Chain A
């Protein structure tokens, strides 16, 4: 069924009795062309673009729990393309362009809202760095503007401009950035893929890879063995333990990142705001809650919950730029597990095992990348060569010394 104003009206007069499940619940077939391991945003987007863009429909998405139960349901929903490096910025700009057309493309309301993202700067050198970043963004075709303090005062009068330690001098704004309803991204891609013949298999956990003579030809699951010509793994957070089943060690550590939502408030924030002197980012959801987050906890964890020192750090950062945040009550907080790669950038590549492909290492920036990650991974799976915006995300780049180190922190995953 195609969703439209007409279908909405029809169902309104029909007592809403005609809505169908948005995707099927099929039994696993014995064989597919491509198996995607991981029914999160990236895995579902990959299946969708494989079917829609590259004409490969015999695809299964295998999900251990229910689709969207991992990081696509646990993030702070920000989309942006404000990167610096050649290897990153064109990729994230491709992603932002895909976000802009996404809802029409897969006929699902993902509530893409381009309300803008402001990165605050607090010193002259930081302004210079942001000007350089803005230039890099414009070179990739993205929009970027440097705002002075007065303009930001008009937009966000509630910020602590005259903070003694970190006065706000101005900011870098990307007006096309914003937020998206995260769960709807998973559901929209799932529905779009399902309509094009993709089997979405939930409660289907991969227990082993079928590897013979260095060639991967399928997976063992708790619902039986499934064969495929190609297997793509997109299980960020769990990449280490899933790929260990294929005997691989990855340049990745798994860390926990916490996020927070306040009680619902009247609209106060014009868009996404990030602190330039600490790690803090905040936006306001359409329900009114302030959605914010900060640093990872900094130690290996698969626990999907963090500890209190980081909660304190995040709240201190919030108070430093936005004292009014102290008046709102915290409603919920949670943790998600992140693939922290050794240079802070992702991996979309073949593995040394033929027929086995890897999409991993998204650190805590994976949500905004969902459409481009799916597109580029689908391109790699379909054509066996990387998409032109993802050529730098090679698995062997650490061995070659070709890191994509946006932060410049070296091989220290807890510092990215």
Chain B
């Protein structure tokens, strides 16, 4: 697979390490009342979609940026690649 890095252009997937579902960007609020259950769901449960899947890749052998890659798990086709920091800010995070 070739991941089209937004800054560095097309890079081989072997340069990256894989974390999983992009929802892992959003850690639960540790002080909320049901934090224990939220962290259980955050840590262990997955949507595990067959089809379009947003996921986190880390450019370990490159510029060490985190990317959000949108990829079809049925075909391995990648439809978009964004910097995770851009996505996080767009989704309301301060950084």
Contacts and interface: CB of A to CB of B under 8 A. Distances in A.
Contact of A300 (B41, B45, B55): B55
Interface of B: 1, 12-14, 18, 20-21, 40-41, 43-50, 53, 55, 71, 73-76
10 closest Cβ contacts across the A-B interface? A240-B48, A398-B44, A249-B45, A251-B44, A302-B50, A309-B14, A299-B18, A241-B50, A342-B44, A300-B73
Nearest to A341: B44
B-side interface mostly: mixed
B73 A303 contact: yes
A253 B20 contact: yes
Nearest to A310: B14
Contact of B73 (A301, A398, A411, A413): A301
16 contacts: A241-B48, A249-B41, A249-B46, A250-B45, A253-B48, A254-B50, A299-B13, A300-B53, A301-B76, A303-B76, A307-B1, A307-B76, A309-B12, A411-B43, A413-B20, A414-B18
Contacts of A254: 48, 50, 73
Please indicate which of the listed interface residues B14, B44, B53 has the most CB atoms of chain A within 10 Å of its own CB. B44
A-side interface mostly: mixed
Nearest to A413: B20
Contacts of B48: 240-241, 244, 249-250, 252-254, 300
Contacts of B46: 240, 249-253
A264 interface: no
A298 interface: yes
Contact of B44 (A299, A300, A307, A411): A411
Contacts of B49: 240-241, 300
A399 interface: yes
Interface of A: 238, 240-241, 244, 249-254, 298-303, 307, 309, 342, 398-399, 411, 413-414
Given A253-B48, A254-B48, A302 B43 contact: no
Contacts of A303: 73-76
A145 B48 CA distance: 40
Nearest to A401: B40
A399 B40 contact: yes
Given A250-B45, A252-B46, A300 B1 contact: no
Contacts of B40: 398-399
Contacts of A413: 20
Contacts of A299: 13, 18, 55, 71
Contacts of A240: 46-50
Nearest to B51: A302
B64 to A, nearest CB: 18
Please indicate which of the listed interface residues A253, A342, A414 has the most CB atoms of chain B within 10 Å of its own CB. A253
Please indicate which of the listed interface residues A238, A253, A299, A307 has the most CB atoms of chain B within 10 Å of its own CB. A299
Given A250-B45, A411-B43, A298 B18 contact: yes
Nearest to B77: A303
Contacts of A241: 48-50
Nearest to A312: B14
B95 to A, nearest CB: 25
Contacts of B44: 251, 342, 398-399, 411
